[in-house]
Amino acid sequence: MQLLKDKINKEGVVKKGNVLKVDSFLNHQMDIAFLEEIGKEFKRRFADETITKILTIEASGIGIACITARYFQVPVLFAKKTQTKNIAGEVYTSKVESFTHNKVYDVIVSKQFLTADDRILIIDDFLANGKALIGLSDIVKQAGASLVGAGIVIEKGFQEGGRIIRNMGIRLESLAIVDAMDEKNGCTFRQ
């Protein structure tokens, strides 16, 4: 998506440790008019699919998912992160390892909002090592729901997440894939 690549080139900041800061428009401050273009693009890419619900994960996926959901006319369900030890039987849960924060947390979704009849599109801001996305797809599987695919705004193509997800047979649509980045030259996008 050229508009997104232009936005990353203009406003994104590459920092040490493979960090790409896009918090001026995507995951701290949110440019709503721009997110509408993101939502339209996801709709265009998944136009051939029947989708009943969008699933995302707190916190930065929520805004993107809500704006995108307008174009699909479906509800959004966001998975919660928790470190609570005892999870009641009313939720689906999956463990996710966060490299950024160096801890393992549980991702939970109430069983009542995810059923075998659902056809799920997962939306998130970033795909790097793929742990969060694998956790969400595991929850979809536990519910017996169908995973239609995953829509990602920015994929870090130099990390393994994209390859793992595609090898799992999941339809993955990343609006921009960054194949390399450095502080001096910025991002190199996959063609």
Radius of gyration of the chain (CA): 16
CA 1 to chain centre: 16
Which residues make beta-bridge pairs with 56?
Answer: 78
Cα dihedral sign, 165-169-175-179: positive
- Please tell me whether residue 73 binds a second copy under the rule CB under 8 A: yes
Binds a second copy by CB under 8 A, chosen from 23, 37, 138, 173 = 23
Least gap, CB of 172 to a second copy (angstroms): 24
- Please tell me whether residue 58 binds a second copy under the rule CB under 8 A: yes
- Please tell me whether residue 29 binds a second copy under the rule CB under 8 A: yes
Binds a second copy by CB under 8 A, chosen from 40, 45, 70, 119 = 70
Question: Residue 26 corresponds to which tokens in the numbers above?
Answer: 């995507």
Q: Distance between CA atoms of 53 and 72, rounded to whole angstroms?
A: 9
| C-beta separation of 39 from 71 below 8 A | yes
- Please tell me whether residue 14 binds a second copy under the rule CB under 8 A: no
- Please tell me whether residue 52 binds a second copy under the rule CB under 8 A: no
- Please tell me whether residue 123 binds a second copy under the rule CB under 8 A: no
Binds a second copy by CB under 8 A, chosen from 66, 129, 146, 171 = 66
**Looking at beta carbons only, is 24 or 159 nearer to a second copy?**
24
What end-to-end distance do the CA atoms of the chain give, in Å? Answer: 10
Q: Which residues contact 108 (CB under 8 A, 6 or more apart)?
A: 79, 80, 82, 87, 91, 92, 93
Binding positions for a second copy, 141-180, rule CB under 8 A: none
Least gap, CB of 23 to a second copy (angstroms): 7
- Please tell me whether residue 119 binds a second copy under the rule CB under 8 A: no
Binding positions for a second copy, 76-95, rule CB under 8 A: 76-78, 80
- Please tell me whether residue 113 binds a second copy under the rule CB under 8 A: yes
Closest of 149, 121, 154 to residue 1, by C-alpha: 154
Question: Residue 29 corresponds to which tokens in the numbers above?
Answer: 């401050």
Q: In the complex, which residues of this chain contact a second copy (CB under 8 A)?
A: 23-25, 28-33, 35-36, 58-59, 62-63, 65-67, 69-70, 73-78, 80, 109-110, 112-113
